[in-house]
Amino acid sequence: MTSPSPWIPKLGAQLVLASASPRRTWILSQLGIPHLVDPADIDESGEDESDPQTLVLQLAAKKAIETSRRRPGDLVLGADTIVYLYPDVLGKPGDPEHAREMLTKLSGREHIVWTGIHLAFDGLPLAGRAVPATVKFRSLSHDEIESYVATGDPLDKAGSYGIQGAGLGMVESLQGCFYSVAGLPVAATIELLREWHLQQTNGLNQA
């Protein structure tokens, strides 16, 4: 059972995470934030990838809204993470060969990991945040890339790696929030939920 959060007051609504990511639900649980999981199923194709900050916010909002439409009265949190290696957005690889290509591009270079979070209520978008973190990979050998791809870990992750697992061994440096790279920026999530609670409280006081 999750202990009460010292960071988030009682929200007055059930929080629902519109993501099947075990990393995101683990982060919320570590923060002591009670929540349910109800993943969104959205079409991510056709989005403009020229502005990664806008893109990741749009995707997080679409996820939140899609789940919120079937969960009236619940507060829904959507999240999305992309890897940006100028000028390309690196999504999830289609197969092991695609993962090898991505990891080869990232080897020895800096890239930006953008994670967007967005709230929705009764099918309407509320507020969101987009959080960047700069990650630099050390130079990877062919054998290292092959060994990592063979674990299967890259195949369901943006940019073909997860920093919270074996992929951490590729990282030379990180500037920003580690948990944002893992899928859910801690400070931004706390701030977003506290702001929503404050707005609800002020609304009740003024009624």
Other C-beta atoms lying within 10 Å of the C-beta of residue 202 = 10
Active site residue 41: no
Selecting among 80, 122, 143, 156, the annotated active-site residue is 80
Structure tokens at 68: 């919120």
3-state helix, strand, coil in the chain (%, to 5): 40, 25, 35
Q: What is the C-alpha to C-alpha distance for residues 82 and 142, in angstroms, rounded to an integer?
A: 24
Which residue in the block uniquely carries the two structure tokens 């929080």? 15
Rounded-to-integer distance, Cα 34 and Cα 13, Å: 11
3-state secondary structure of 143: helix
Catalytic residues, by residue number, are: 80
